[in-house]
Structure formats: C-alpha cells, structure tokens
A and B are shown apart, each in its own frame.
Chain A
Amino acid sequence: MKPAEDLTGLDLQGGWHVDGRVTQSAKGTGEYSSISYFASNEKKEKAFLKAIDLSSALQDDDLMGKLHELSVAYEHEFNLLHQCKDKRLRRVVVPIAEGLAQVSELYKPLDRVPYIIFPRAEGNIRDVLERWREFEKKFDLAWALRCLHHSATGLQELHGMNIAHQDVKPSNILVYPVEGSKITDLGSASQAGNPSRSDKWPVAGDVRYATPEQWYSWSQSAEFENRYLVDLYRLGSLMFFFFSDLSAMDALQLKLSSQYGKDFVKSDFISDLPYLKYAFKESLDGLRESVEKIAGGLTDQIIMIAGQLCDPDPRKRGDPRAGAAKYREQHDMQAYVSRFNILARRAEIRMI
C-alpha cells in the first residue's frame, strides 16, 4: 500500500474528516498520480479530497530528481489553483482547503501526504450522460447547452489569466447541483510566462482528446496562443461527446479509417490536412444526424460552432470574425460564451 492510499478515517486541519476512498483506480493528473477520497466537515459540508501520490519516486533510480519533478509539478498546479481562487473564478473548480496529512510513520520518509480538498460535485458529464441513457432514456438539450456555456465560460476565465487548460474532456467537467458545471483538473495546464514541464510534451492531457495537430506533433509556431487553440478544439470535442458519445478525434479517426479500409497511415500534417478536412466534414455530417433528432431548429447553429471549434487546421480554428478583427484574438472565447448562452436560453424557453 502507498501512503496516499491510507488516508481513510484521518482527521485533517480545518475540521475535515476523510470518509473513504472513491472507487476508482489511481488517476494520472499530469505528471503525478493522485488518490481520490470523499471528505466532510463538522458543518456537514461534503467534499472531494485529492491525495498526491509521491511514492512513484521510490521506484525511480534518481529518487531525489524524481521527487523534485513531482513536487515541482504539484507546486505548479497548486499555484494555478490558488491564482484561480484568488481571482474568484466561477467556472473553475478551486480548492477549499489543502495541507499535509500525517499517515503512519511506517511510510517514512513519505509519511506526510499533500492533499487538496475541492467542493464535492454530483459527478462529471460522462456520469450525467450515462444516467440519461441508461435510466432516464432522455436527452436534456437545454442542460447540455448550458453545460457547454459554463465550460466555455470556464475556459474564458482561464484564458483571461493566461492559463491554457489543455485537458478539457467529459470527465473534467464537474456538475454541481446549484452552480452548474465547472472545469476541473489543472494538472496539464500551462500558464504564459510560468514555464512547466508539460509545456514540452507533444500532447498535454488525455491523448484520446488530442487535436489533429498534436496527433502529428505539428505546431504552426512556438507561440503560447496555440495552447488556447487546443482548448477550443477540446471544447468542440465536448459537443461531439454530448451529441454522439464520441470525441471529435474519435469521429475523425473513424471517418479516416472507413475511407482507407482500416489502413490510413499518416504522413505529415500539412500533406494530410486535406484528408483530415474531408474526414472532418464527414464526421460533422454524422454529428448533424444526431443533433437534428434532438435540437431541431438549433441544429445549424450547433453544427456551425462544432465546425469552427474542431477545425482540424489550427490556423482556421475559432470564430472567423475574431480572426478578421484587429482587436480580437483568434482564440477569443467570447463569441462561443455568447452563442452557447443564447442556444441554452432558446432550448430552455422551448421546454417551458
């Protein structure tokens, strides 16, 4: 057993008590893995505790070097989270407490486990969609569009602080009963002017939600802004997930594989871009088929947004009007915040 796996029953600073482990295997968040727990306090507030597992360093030949790496990565995320907390970001999950948990001395020298406590969510959007599908047999369009609006707002807030999240995916959008949806997990995030190790990775975050240019390890430039374009793609990928249960990259791969009889082999990004665009258009047509059944008159708007956000060519990604305007950046999220808001409103009105 690792020290981070032995927190159940502990009383922590601030009156928090570790109730028990969340039944899932250790989860990688960027460079280190963490163990999840349920926690609560005397005010009956329920929370989610993330215990940082530093024990992997013990298996490394360079123990000190590895420990340093892990602690730097943890510090980086911790620092970003606190910046978000200080700025009172509404659509990003920020910690409510943190500290070091003292576990048995048997674990020395790793008997003090760093932890972060977050407000407990109902689940993530994967859980919500699964519940809809398995039990409720319905799709709540207004809720889905509101969730996309919240996610876009969360990204806009992060981008406003020069932070690129880079790991937006269904399991990283948490759902709260009153406040709605929020983005979590800054383990793969980067901040302009604040270098981190993930800056050097070809794909920061979950590979299955990677962008086409990341799949080819291609970058138009070394500009930090390219990372915001990754966030745009992943936000669009959430749309694919809501309406078709697949990520945008999965849908793209499906179309490529179908066209090439299971035998598509990539060459280089620029040469293959026309094929990617063709496959993307086909996947967009597949998405339209699903959206039409649910969204009716809102379909064109939804498909247009998915088309702009998930454009395989990062140079064309995003709101075309933002690219044309001198005072707006290509990765400007405002247009999508507004559009998702309007779409969600229209869907909510339709429900009345």
Chain B
Amino acid sequence: MSVRYDDSNRQAIPRYLPYATACSLQILRINRRAEQIHGILVEDSDARREWVENPRLTSAIDLVAEALIVKDFSSTEARKAAKYILSKGALCSSLVRQLAGHFLEVQVSTWEEISEIPDRDGYGREIGRLRRSVRDYPVNPIAWSDLSLSYATIGEKDKAKDAMRVAMGLAKHNRFILRSASRCFMHLEEPDKAVSILNKSGLCAIDPWIASAEIAISEATGLKSKCIGKAKDLVGNDSLTPFSRSELAASLGTVEMKSGSIRRGKKIMRKAIIKPTENALAQVGWATSAFQIDFDDLVKLTSTVPASYEATAVQRYYDKKFKESLEASKKWSRFQFLSSRPIIHATYISSCMLNDDLGAIDIFDNALPAQKDSPLAINNYAFALARIGRTEEAADKLRQCLHKASREEGLVITATVGLICFREGDVEGGRRLYDNAVNGFELLKDYRSAAIAKYYWAVEEKRINPQNAEPKIREAKRAIEQNNVFEFEDLAKKL
C-alpha cells in the first residue's frame, strides 16, 4: 500500500534554505517596524550636480552608486546616469555594469519561481563552487552553511555536519546561521544539539525567528521548550512586523491548541496569517485540519504567499484537487531539498489518486538522495514498481529500508510486500501479509491506514477473482466510509 506521511505532529520547524532563497523570501528581514527606513533623495547631492554639469562616466558612476546607497531608485538623473553607463558597454568594469543594470531593474516581488531541481552532477558542481569559495575566503559563514546544505542534500551527513560546525564557529549569533544549523542538526538526528544552540545564542528572548525555531524543534522532538513565556511577549509585541512574528505565532498557537486551549491557540494563530511566511501558512493550514478549525482567507493566501507549495499541496489534497496538489508537491520537493514529505505526498497522490504509477516512479527517481532516505518514500516507490510488474526491484528496495522503519512504517511495508506476493502469484502469502498489516494497524488504532490496506487487499482479490472478492470489497468500502478516508471515497465506489 502507498501512504502519506504522518502529519499528526507538524511543527513550523525552520526551513533549511540556501542563502539566496532565504534572501528572496525575506526570511532575514528586520524585525522591527521602526527599523524600516525610507530612502533619502540624491537630488541635492554633489554627485548629481557634478553629473549634470559634467556628464562623464566617472560622474555617472558616482551618482548611481550614491543613489543606490540611499535607495533613491526613482531619481531621474540617476536613472539617466545608469543608462549612460550601460551605453558605454565594455568600457566599464563588470561590477559597474552590474551596478547600472541593478539600478534600472524594476523592483518586483523578490521571489522567483524555483528552477528545475539539479541532478547529482549539478550538486557536485555547486559543491565544487562552494568549496572553492570557502577556500578563497574561509571566514564566510554563509558559504559554509550553503556547503553544509549541499552535502546534506546528497546524503553526505558527516561532511554536512563538519561544514555547519565551521559556520557556527564563525557566526553563532546570526539568525540565518542559527536557523540553518538547528535544522541541519534536526536532519542529522541531533535534536538536543539543535535546541541547545538556539538557547545558547541568547536570542530567544528578542528574536521571534529564533524563538519560533526553538519552540518548534522542542515540540517536534518531545523536549520542553525554555522560551514559551518570552515567546508570548514577542508575539504580543506590536513593534515587531507581523511577518517576523508569523512563524512564532504559528508555533505558539500550535502549543496552545495541543494543550487543549483551542480558542486561545486560534487567537494567537490569527496573528500568524496577517503576513505569513510559507512555513507559517502551512502550519496554520495543518492546524485547520488537525483541530477542525476555520480561518478566513487561507485559500487566498496560498496564492499570494511566495513559495507556499506545502500549504497549497496539502490544501488541494483536502479539497480533492489531486492534480493541483501533485503539481504543488513537485515544487515543494524542489524547494525543500532535505524533506522526504513532498516525495511521499506526490508518489501517494500519483499512484493512488491519479492511478499513475509511472509518474510516481519518475518522481522518486528524480528526487534527491536526502529525500529518498525515508522508508515511506521507498515504500511508495516499491508500491508503484510492484503495480507495473517490476516486483523484484520493489522487493529489493523494501529490503534496503526495512531496518530503518518504525513499527507503523513496518506495517505499511508489510502490506506492500503483500501486494508483491499477490503480483508474483503467491496469493496466500499476500493475504497473510495484508491480514498482518490490517491487524497491526487496528492494534495501533490507526483505522485509517487499516482501511487503506483493506482497500488495496480488495483490489488484489478482485484482480485475481472478481466473484470471490465481494466480501473483501464490502469490508473495504465500509472501512473507507467509516474512517472518513475521503481521498479513497471515489475509488471505493468504483471497486
């Protein structure tokens, strides 16, 4: 059977992003409203006077550089000067041409649609570039952090850890580095260290981005957060921008709701969607389904918040718009290099809802090594392989991941092995394994998964003998209906 990931405990854990992506998403932007300054004009400056009196390359460069520093991008003379620089072509250095080009660029939303996911060679080249960069200028913590992310992406965990340690050594009080490092240590299965570096930074009480990371990671890993009290103050601090408080409000709201204070949690979460990050939006979206609450404008926000692929994928899934959900989850996988969740989600939808096993295989094959390193992702891949007849490959894949699987994941794999048995003609073996899986799920009170297992068992029974499959089909239909497995309702009717 193919499944979705377990999202019973989603937290707004900081994303592990390359610096360029974090910049364009403005995750590093200032906290306080008062710190947002407005541009000074260059109209009365000496540089402008000199350019007007003596329009030469030197005076043009001086004016454009000064206008850039004071952010007076609308100055007519400075724009003329920038055009003049560009007209001189190769007579200017590349930095000067970049200056003029950048000055004339239209300021649009800084988020650009993510490009195609690089292949392994592409990551090799990126790692090579970053290694050269840190060799030339070894005190650049951001380059070390990006290098760590690239190593983690291709599954080189030790190298990723070493690179992140260097980044931390160089800038242990920087928001970007701290968030990246904590996410990196989460990925490396060292949650204690992830929380400890955040607490030791001393920024939890003053920086909502850091407080949010501390709460989310602590909650996700069963540790006790040390900054809930300070976080409440920060969420209520209106001098901070709503954007900078959004993830903290989402994290804190989740804590409240989980402790049973749904109303209080909802009140806090409302602050998260004033101007949310994509992560905060995904967290609020998760809360709406987990706690059966409603927020206005969530649908609208998914189309306006940059990079809100996860929120879109999940929302479209609950709306039964599976094709849209699949498209969003493909983008989500390109945005989150280390997360296997988008791969699990996409392969599940592709195989189960859209009956496109080849599509699911393609998604997994194109995923990055770090994203494939999950028993559920491998299981979904094996499920798709088995359904198109590549049962040996499927069995091989499952053998590789069995030792890493949790108890629940083990049951999912058992059901998939049952499918393989059916497809290889071992009907009794298949029935036994499906039966084991269903009983196991029911013992764990995971009736939803049991219903899905029953559905796929019924499919196999119908495939080999439609007449004898009737009891299993009825049982599966009943289980799907009783457990509100909404995504299988239409499929069950067609059984």
A interface, CB within 8 angstroms of B = 25, 126, 129-130, 133-134, 208, 243-247, 249-251, 253-254, 257-263, 265, 267, 270-271, 273-275, 277-278, 280-281, 283-284, 286-287, 289-290, 303, 307, 311, 313, 316
Contacts and interface: CB of A to CB of B under 8 A. Distances in A.
Nearest to A130: B58
Nearest to B94: A289
B53 to A, nearest CB: 9
A281 B30 contact: no
Interface string B140-183: 11110000000000000000000000000011011111000000
A265 B68 contact: no
A247 B99 CA distance: 12
Given A250-B65, A267-B30, A316 B139 contact: yes
A307 B137 contact: yes
* A-B residue pairs, 7 tightest by C-beta: A261-B110, A244-B93, A250-B65, A278-B142, A244-B95, A286-B95, A290-B93
Contacts of B171: 273-274
B444 interface: no
A275 B142 contact: yes
B271 to A, nearest CB: 22
B37 A254 contact: no
Interface in B208-232: none
Nearest to B142: A278
Contacts of A260: 23, 26, 110
Nearest to B167: A274
A258 B93 contact: no
Contacts of B107: 261-263
B98 A286 contact: yes
Interface of B: 19-20, 23-24, 26, 28-31, 35-37, 46, 49, 56-58, 61-62, 65-66, 68-69, 71, 73, 91-96, 98-99, 102, 105, 107-110, 133, 136-137, 139-143, 170-171, 173-177
Nearest to A210: B69
Nearest to A272: B174
29 contacts: A126-B58, A133-B91, A208-B62, A245-B58, A246-B61, A246-B93, A246-B96, A249-B69, A250-B68, A257-B68, A258-B102, A260-B26, A261-B107, A261-B110, A263-B110, A267-B31, A267-B35, A274-B140, A274-B177, A278-B19, A281-B133, A284-B137, A286-B95, A289-B94, A289-B95, A290-B94, A307-B136, A313-B139, A316-B139
Contacts of A316: 139
A253 B98 CA distance: 12
A25 B57 CA distance: 19
A347 B98 CA distance: 28
B37 A245 contact: no
Given A263-B29, A274-B141, 5 more contacts: A244-B94, A262-B71, A265-B30, A271-B173, A277-B140
A340 B361 CA distance: 60
Given A247-B65, A274-B171, A281-B136, A265 B29 contact: yes
A273 B69 CA distance: 18
A261 B73 CA distance: 12
Contacts of A311: 139
Contacts of B105: 262
Given A245-B96, A265-B29, A273 B174 contact: yes
Contacts of B68: 250, 253-254, 257
Given A270-B173, A284-B137, A130 B61 contact: no
How would you classify the secondary structure of chain B's contact residues: helix, strand, loop or mixed? helix
Contacts of A273: 171, 174
Contacts of A267: 30-31, 35
B102 A265 contact: no
Given A245-B93, A265-B30, A208 B173 contact: no
B94 A286 contact: yes
Contacts of A259: 19-20, 23
A271 to B, nearest CB: 6
B100 to A, nearest CB: 10
Contacts of B29: 263, 265
Contacts of A275: 28, 142, 176
B426 to A, nearest CB: 58
A280 B140 CA distance: 9
A253 B96 contact: no
A247 B66 CA distance: 11
Contacts of A278: 19, 140, 142-143
Contacts of A287: 95
Nearest to A251: B95
B96 A208 contact: no
A253 B72 CA distance: 13
A243 B93 contact: yes
A130 B57 contact: yes
A274 B142 contact: yes
A316 B56 CA distance: 37
A254 B95 contact: yes
A265 B36 contact: yes
A274 B35 CA distance: 19
A130 B109 CA distance: 38
B49 to A, nearest CB: 8
B134 to A, nearest CB: 9
A131 B173 CA distance: 47
B142 A277 contact: yes
A316 B141 CA distance: 14
Given A254-B98, A267-B30, A262 B73 contact: yes
B58 A263 contact: no
A321 B110 CA distance: 41
A262 B91 CA distance: 25
Contacts of B109: 261
A303 B135 CA distance: 13
A12 B427 CA distance: 115
Nearest to B171: A274
A281 B56 contact: no
